[in-house]
Amino acid sequence: MMALNVDNQSAIRLAPNPQHHRRSKHTDVRFHSIREKVEQGVLKLEYVPSSEQTADILTKPLTNTLFINLCDGLGLAKNLGSS
């Protein structure tokens, strides 16, 4: 089983639930595809806080400290702290 690290707890709660929710109308085809994979036992959603989401380094503005921590998590921070 493959794990998908997610920082959205609402998405994790909705994924195993096949019911259509009035407040979740905006979900798209990608979400339904993920839900199907969860139901099939192919994919498991795991909560990871945003401060530990290494993918955020490419998608969000970060503080210098968080940027360096995430770079370190990717094995890239060896020389970032030295000037």
Helix, coil or strand: residue 49:
coil
pLDDT tens readout for residues 40-76: 999 999 999 988 988 888 889 999 999 988 888 888 8
What sign does the CA torsion over 44, 18, 33, 42 have?
Answer: positive
Pair (29, 63) in one structural domain: no
Give the model's pLDDT for residue 20. Answer: 59
Pair (28, 10) in one structural domain: yes
- CA 32 – CA 17 distance, rounded (Å): 10
pLDDT tens readout for residues 5-43: 888 888 888 887 766 566 656 666 677 788 889 999 999
Range of the domain at 64: 50-82
- CA 9 – CA 47 distance, rounded (Å): 7
If one counts the domains in the chain, the total is: 2
Is this model's pTM higher than 0.75 or not? no
pLDDT at 1 over 70: yes
Contact between 48 and 6 under an 8 Å Cβ cutoff? The reply is yes
